[in-house]
Chain A
Amino acid sequence: MNNNIIEIKNLHFRYGADSENPSEEVLKGIDLDVKQGEFVAILGHNGSGKSTLAKHLNAILLPTSGKVFVDGIDTSDDNRLFELRQCAGMVFQNPDNQIVSSIVEEDVAFALENLGVSYDKMRKRVDDALKAVNMYEYRLHSPSQLSGGQKQRVAIAGIIAMRPKCIILDESTAMLDPQGRKEVFSAVRRMNSEYGITIVFITHYMDEAAQCERVVVMNNGKIILDNTPERVFSQVELLKKIGLDVPQVTELSWKLRKAGVDIPSEIISEKECVKEILKLFKKSY
């Protein structure tokens, strides 16, 4: 059985394709498959097309040419739009601009209200979703009383209340402080490990990408790297050329290697880095 939740086939996109002066191509032939349960990071600097790609995954934008399938649903199929959006939920960048209601639990229920879920079912799903992101005790608060990280977790709860198979986070940590970023990232990771929800995590923070299973790097509307974080970040020169950073420890080991130190190139976590450096010390004494 085909267990790809997302299948993108030769996707091209330009804004205003039907108008007289369409923009330049933003996406220039993307091919990407994501398996059910995967945790994928999409990296790229501003204007690389990563957010445009994300918007194709739940039919906010439709391909100019090519096809996007999510859970077997063609995103250009108008009749299955709600089914698609239930299956692939999207969390945006600004937490303030995606919360609809003045009470937390009601905002989480918003999608369910729209879908006409019965009261008893809704109550349970809302409570479950809030507990899953550790926001249950805040259910009667007003969103304006919450911190950025908390608001973003409420937004995630609003999505998982729909019981989606896939969550797309479009730079959802970009506006948060380090503490909020940590909260949101660990909530997302739990969604992936405990509930098996596929995560597409769009970010420009390298340290977050380094913690995902798979990293896709985009530049200029194309995918240029698609591999495990270790493999991707070992391409330090290529990443630097397209204006991306690498995690600090990767950069450190890269510089050490350039200086002639024998250290592996695929280091992405601090722990590993410390281990390898200690090994080197032991060797030299």
Chain B
Amino acid sequence: MLKDITIGQFFPGDSIIHHLDPRFKIVMTLIFIVMIFTGESPICLGIGAVYTVTAVMLSGIKIKMFVKSIKPIMPFLLITAFLNILFINGGTVYFHWKFLKITSEGINVSIFMIIRIIMLIVGSSLLTYTTSPVTLTDAVESLLSPLKKLKFPVHELAMMMSIALRFIPTLIEETDKIISAQKARGAEIDTGSLINRVKNLVSILIPLFISAFRRADELATAMECRCYSGGKGRTRLRQLKSSSKDYIALAFTVFFLMCVIVVNMIYS
């Protein structure tokens, strides 16, 4: 059952978006987020939507996958939208009952928020859908490298991330084994009251932690045996290379941001 968990939700593919430099993709995602949150008028949202739809189409990833990523947060979205409708007042009043008022302003704000958040999720999912976790880690390391001057442990952070990614399947497998072993000894993990189940979780977590520490110890020895001594003077097998495609995509993104800013200025 645990094997079905996928972390990072990477879908290998061969599209233009897949082949972009991951560093550029992260930067573009950040610009995109700025773009959708600075936009104040419906036209701005429209521009953002055009950008999102274009990117999604180019990625070749099924719309179904994006719908899936939005689903879990839909309830929260609807509840906040509902509260916004009730409590934000302004413009024409459509409905009035005691202290509750439904106004045009409230409806506008709610719709705006829903669309913004959906675009935010689709945009950032696109990053993780089209970039493998490993290259994403590399990109983060590369983008944060200026912080090395401030003695920020960039390499160590990236190393931690990549080791964590490497050990996710191993630890999941291990958890499965521990669950079976504890079930064989009569532990009730899927049944019983909530409190009991939480208590029984301890019988899984303790062996898991102990084994993780032992693994960490062995891995550290193995890394030292292969001359690991931190980030200094390290070279890389996988090199991040940017091409003209990346710059064009970045220019395209910046252009959309400019459009949003210009539209904002005209309407304010």
Residues of A within 8 A of B (CB): 58, 60, 82, 85-86, 89-90, 92, 94, 96-103, 105-106, 109-119, 122-123, 126, 142-144, 158-159, 162
Say whether B222 contacts A92, CB under 8 Å: yes
Contacting residues of chain B (195-237) with chain A, CB-CB under 8 angstroms: 215, 218-219, 221-229, 233-237
Say whether B134 contacts A102, CB under 8 Å: yes
List A contacts of B226 (CB < 8 A).
Answer: 85, 89, 100, 110-111, 114, 158-159, 162
Contact of A102 with B166 at beta-carbon distance under 8 Å, contacts A90-B225, A97-B218, A97-B222 already known = yes
Say whether B163 contacts A116, CB under 8 Å: no
Say whether A96 contacts B225, CB under 8 Å: no
Say whether B162 contacts A101, CB under 8 Å: yes
Tell me, in angstroms, the Cα distance from A109 to B235 when the chains sit together.
10
How does the 8 Å CB contact mask read for B157-190 relative to A, with 1 for contact and 0 for none? Answer: 0000011011001100100000000000000000
Tell me, in angstroms, the Cα distance from A82 to B134 when the chains sit together.
27
Say whether B221 contacts A116, CB under 8 Å: no
Say whether A144 contacts B218, CB under 8 Å: no
Say whether A106 contacts B238, CB under 8 Å: yes
Taking the complex as formed, is B239 at the interface, i.e. its CB lies under 8 A from any CB of chain A? yes
Tell me, in angstroms, the Cα distance from A64 to B162 when the chains sit together.
37
List A contacts of B228 (CB < 8 A).
Answer: 110, 114
Contacting residues of chain B (233-255) with chain A, CB-CB under 8 angstroms: 233-239
Contact of A82 with B237 at beta-carbon distance under 8 Å, contacts A92-B221, A142-B169, A143-B166 already known = no
Tell me, in angstroms, the Cα distance from A58 to B226 when the chains sit together.
10
Say whether B170 contacts A96, CB under 8 Å: yes
List A contacts of B218 (CB < 8 A).
Answer: 92, 94, 97-98
Say whether B133 contacts A111, CB under 8 Å: no
List B contacts of A142 (CB < 8 A).
Answer: 169
List B contacts of A110 (CB < 8 A).
Answer: 223, 226, 228
Min C-beta distance of B55 to chain A, whole Å: 26
Tell me, in angstroms, the Cα distance from A90 to B218 when the chains sit together.
12
List B contacts of A58 (CB < 8 A).
Answer: 225
Residues of B within 8 A of A (CB): 133-134, 162-163, 165-166, 169-170, 173, 215, 218-219, 221-229, 233-239
Tell me, in angstroms, the Cα distance from A227 to B106 when the chains sit together.
89
**Binding site of B, secondary structure by majority: helix, strand, loop or mixed?**
helix
Say whether B233 contacts A116, CB under 8 Å: yes
16 residue pairs bridging A and B, Cβ less than 8 Å apart: A85-B224, A85-B227, A94-B215, A94-B218, A98-B219, A100-B166, A100-B222, A101-B134, A102-B165, A106-B238, A110-B223, A113-B234, A113-B237, A116-B233, A123-B237, A158-B226
List A contacts of B236 (CB < 8 A).
Answer: 113, 119
Say whether B215 contacts A97, CB under 8 Å: yes
Q: A101 is contacted by which of B166, B225, B227 (Cβ under 8 Å)?
A: B166
Tell me, in angstroms, the Cα distance from A92 to B223 when the chains sit together.
11
Additional pairs, 12, CB under 8 Å, beyond known A103-B134, A110-B226:
A58-B225, A86-B227, A97-B219, A98-B218, A101-B134, A102-B133, A110-B223, A113-B236, A114-B226, A119-B237, A126-B237, A158-B226
The residue on A at minimum CB distance from B211 is A97
List A contacts of B162 (CB < 8 A).
Answer: 100-102
Min C-beta distance of A109 to chain B, whole Å: 4
Contact of A122 with B235 at beta-carbon distance under 8 Å, contacts A100-B163, A144-B170 already known = yes
Min C-beta distance of A232 to chain B, whole Å: 29
Min C-beta distance of B175 to chain A, whole Å: 14
Tell me, in angstroms, the Cα distance from A112 to B162 when the chains sit together.
17
Say whether B225 contacts A85, CB under 8 Å: yes
Min C-beta distance of A169 to chain B, whole Å: 12
The residue on A at minimum CB distance from B232 is A116
Which 9 pairs across A and B sit closest by C-beta, in order of nearness? A98-B222, A109-B237, A144-B169, A111-B226, A97-B218, A116-B233, A114-B227, A102-B166, A90-B225
Say whether A114 contacts B166, CB under 8 Å: no
Tell me, in angstroms, the Cα distance from A103 to B238 when the chains sit together.
11
Min C-beta distance of A62 to chain B, whole Å: 13
Say whether A60 contacts B225, CB under 8 Å: yes
Min C-beta distance of A11 to chain B, whole Å: 19
Tell me, in angstroms, the Cα distance from A97 to B171 when the chains sit together.
11
Q: A116 is contacted by which of B219, B223, B225, B234 (Cβ under 8 Å)?
A: B234
List B contacts of A162 (CB < 8 A).
Answer: 226-227
Tell me, in angstroms, the Cα distance from A106 to B225 when the chains sit together.
16
Say whether B169 contacts A113, CB under 8 Å: no
Tell me, in angstroms, the Cα distance from A58 to B233 when the chains sit together.
22
Min C-beta distance of B218 to chain A, whole Å: 4
List A contacts of B215 (CB < 8 A).
Answer: 94, 96-97
The residue on B at minimum CB distance from A94 is B218
The residue on B at minimum CB distance from A102 is B166
The residue on A at minimum CB distance from B233 is A116
Contact of A114 with B234 at beta-carbon distance under 8 Å, contacts A92-B218, A144-B169, A162-B226 already known = yes
List A contacts of B229 (CB < 8 A).
Answer: 82, 114
Say whether B233 contacts A119, CB under 8 Å: no
